[in-house]
Amino acid sequence: MIETTNKTKLFGILGTPVAHTLSPAMHSFMAEQNKIDMAYLAFDVPPEKLGDTMRGVKAIGACGFNITAPHKICVMDYLDHICPEAQHMNSVNTVVNRNGVWHGFNTDGNGYCESLLLEGHEIKNKNILMMGAGGSARSLAFTLAKSGAKSISITSRSMEKIHIIGEMVEHYTETIFYDTLDKAKDYDIVINTTPVGMHGAGDSGNPCGFMDLIHENMVCSDIIYNPKETVFLKEAKKRGARIHNGLGMLVLQGILAFELFCEISLDHKRTYEQLMHLFDYYRI
């Protein structure tokens, strides 16, 4: 049971579904470690209730929220200020109340890139293929490009979404657009940003249609963390590729969001290791 006082600050996560989110456990752990009086709760908010919810949390003086699907774009309509990177991505995953002014940020891309680096995978001068062109792909592509990726190729059924990402990163790196996977050639990093393979998503298949091109010098990454090894990652592992799941991204985007919530700086590597150990203990 969460112990609260009349000074406890309210934070949480807004999205749907959120029944299995790890964010409350993660932020509660960081709050305890840093002796911060806060409560972090999960709120299941359907799209038609987002406006009412945002007006309500503003009225009660809540302090901030993580934003998950499907609200990362629509929530921007209810904010007073959006940081330049989130504005460029057209996607917000963290909102913070600072003296009554609601600010929007996006920590997804930085969390993902930092998780790659912490696990020993380089980004600079690498050729990257991304499967999917949704909201997560936008933030990842933008941050990977700014981190020095040599090229980013994108494959999706929506050419419109692909071109949006291409325009977003064109000043930072070369972008190549594919509407079918069989045009893919040789890459250093292959990333699945789609929900294919996610537990409970109704599709446990493999988003990658060119597994014969996977090799042992390649990094295969999936932003899904439940299950820890998707069909894509299992198949890549069989072929000798190094694999990287989405748990590290979840943890590091959470650390970055917590810093924004509380206006403090954490030791990222130490906190990352603590949270990964916590989730391993609970077999998450």
Three-state DSSP class for residue 134: coil
User: Strand 94-98 vs strand 64-67: parallel, antiparallel, or unpaired?
Assistant: antiparallel
Q: Give yes or no: 72 in active site.
A: yes
- Measuring CA to CA, which residue among 255, 233, 263, 269 is closest to residue 110? 255
Contact 188, 127 (CB under 8 A): yes
Q: Is 205 labeled as ligand-binding?
A: no
Q: Is 204 labeled as ligand-binding?
A: no
Q: Is 134 labeled as ligand-binding?
A: yes
Q: Is 253 labeled as ligand-binding?
A: yes
C-alpha 14/C-alpha 205 separation (Å) is 28
Q: Is 141 labeled as ligand-binding?
A: no
Q: Is 99 labeled as ligand-binding?
A: no
Q: Is 108 labeled as ligand-binding?
A: yes
CA-based torsion, 102, 98, 86, 70: positive or negative: negative
CA neighbours closer than 13 Å in the CB half-sphere of residue 198? 15
Tokens of 277: 């150990």
Q: Is 164 labeled as ligand-binding?
A: no
Q: Is 135 labeled as ligand-binding?
A: yes
Q: Is 246 labeled as ligand-binding?
A: yes
C-alpha 84/C-alpha 273 separation (Å) is 30
Which one of 9, 35, 72, 237 is the catalytic residue? Answer: 72
Residue at 195: amino acid letter:
P
Three-state DSSP class for residue 91: coil
Q: Is 182 labeled as ligand-binding?
A: no
Binding site as annotated, residues: 21-23, 68, 93, 108, 132-136, 223, 225, 246, 253
Binding site as annotated, residues for NADP(+): 132-136, 223, 246
Q: Which residues are catalytic?
A: 72
